[in-house]
Amino acid sequence: MGQDDGVREISEAEFQAFVLEAPVPVLVDFHATWCGPCAWLDPVLEELARGAEGRYRVVKVDTDAAPELSGRYRVGSVPTVVCFRDGREVDRSVGVEPHRLRAMLEEE
């Protein structure tokens, strides 16, 4: 993922490299294009991504385009944001919880 200057939309095929093999924590926003509350999170995710400075990544996965991946991680509603560290899920937020997203990245 070259630069950490924004949120990147990734596919199921990219998930392994961008999330599970990432050398830093990764926030994954499981979203859908038709989801209004998902759009509410976009400015928060962009702000987090711009402030990452290489300490973490922020990516988005469209649940409609990645149903197998969404099923594997038990995404039952959108938005669901999952924090991964060292290839494992360590925390998740369901719904619109901007302050929770920041806290998930601060936890060690």
Q: Which residues are catalytic?
A: 35, 38
For helices 98-106 and 36-50, angle between their N-to-C axes, nearest 10 degrees = 40
Token pair listed for 18: 């961008």
Number of neighbours of residue 24 by Cβ within 10 angstroms = 15
